[in-house]
Amino acid sequence: MKLQLKCIARITAVTCSLFSTVCYSETLEVTAVSEVVACQTSGANPIRAGDEDCRTTPSVFETTIYEMGLCASHPFGTDKKGITFDNSTCTITYSDSAPNTVDLVDSIGGTLGLTGISTMPPPGTYGYPYLVMGPSFTVAGSFTNSTTGDTYRSAAGRLVGINTASDVSNTDTLNNFGDNGTCYSGYKGAVVTGGTMDGFIASGTLVRSEKTQLTGGNCANQARLIAVMNLTTPFTVTSKTYSVRFNFLLTDFGVQFIDTSSPLDGIPNEFASAPFSGYFTILNAD
């Protein structure tokens, strides 16, 4: 079985993306934050009037991939409030206990082979593909506003340089979906191609923190980020299935530029990692 990641460089109809909504149990979950729109490449200001930030295509987007798999039911339960990842209806299609960091930008428009172990899933119907990653993302990016002629680039210290020579990378770690001294270890219902996506911050053994389990103000269990898709139409694996693929959508996703001025002036002065989006595909022989 061939396991690939595919990065697609195109504008998509995705209306939300990974990390765009948040959820909880006693593990906590929050819902429905507003979507960040793409940075404006023309007009008076690069950030839309009234917005605090915008997103664009990264020049660097590094992460680690530990595991991929397919489940017949949601591994955190129907209400998505489970503490421990329940793999009783799941099959692992890819695993790597010590993965190398990969830059997904290098393969935009193509595929990226991974070095771990790929396994053919048994025949069956699966509605909940999942992906386990490290919690840290190293990103850089830039965009040009043709009206002003200025290029805004990621710079050292999470700042933004205007017309500087090159993009500078920064590493962000996702260790809490909320704040205020409470652990929010998940989100649910981000709209992606083919369904919705839920996300969970967990330990290396895929156990979420409860709301009071904190380390330095963040969720104590923060070694993994788990993305679970809820497919609108579950797919069936047959004897003809030869590839399971996760497609990262990074065009106008992955890095965000932020206006921290008061009042807002539409000019970014900080940057950070931003939501990515994606979807799974199953490839079958004719």
Going by pLDDT thresholds of 50, 70 and 90, the confidence category of residue 21 is very low
Residue by residue, DSSP assigns 94-114 as EE-SSPPPEEGGGGBTEEEE-
- Give CA–CA dist 247/194, Å, rounded: 12
Going by pLDDT thresholds of 50, 70 and 90, the confidence category of residue 26 is low
The pLDDT, as a whole number, for residue 42 is 94
Asked whether the beta carbons of 7 and 109 are under 8 A apart, the reply is yes
Task: Tell the residue number behind the tokens 């065009």, with chain if given.
Answer: 251
Going by pLDDT thresholds of 50, 70 and 90, the confidence category of residue 99 is very high
Residue 52 scores a pLDDT above 80 = yes
Cα angle value 87/275/160 (rounded, 5°): 145
CA 130 vs CA 133, 135, 199, 229, 276: distances in Å: 10, 15, 10, 6, 15
Give the residue-averaged pLDDT of 203-215. Answer: 94
In the chain, the amino acid numbered 52 is: E
Cα angle value 149/153/156 (rounded, 5°): 145
Provide CB contacts within 8 A for 75, sequence distance 6+.
82, 85, 86, 87, 89, 90, 128, 130, 226, 228
Collapse the DSSP code of 156 into the 3-class scheme (helix H, G, I; strand E, B; otherwise coil) and give the result.
helix
Q: Pull the structure tokens for residue 69.
A: 């798999």
Going by pLDDT thresholds of 50, 70 and 90, the confidence category of residue 23 is very low
Give the residue-averaged pLDDT of 144-164. Answer: 96
What's the mean per-residue pLDDT of the chain?
Answer: 84
Percent of the chain with pLDDT over 70: 86
The pLDDT, as a whole number, for residue 4 is 35
- Give CA–CA dist 99/65, Å, rounded: 6
Give the residue-averaged pLDDT of 217-235. Answer: 92
Give the residue-averaged pLDDT of 204-230. Answer: 93
What's the whole-model pTM score?
A: 0.80
Going by pLDDT thresholds of 50, 70 and 90, the confidence category of residue 29 is low
Residue by residue, DSSP assigns 55-82 as EE-EEEEEE-EEEEEEESS-TT-TTS--
Give the residue-averaged pLDDT of 17-34. Answer: 45
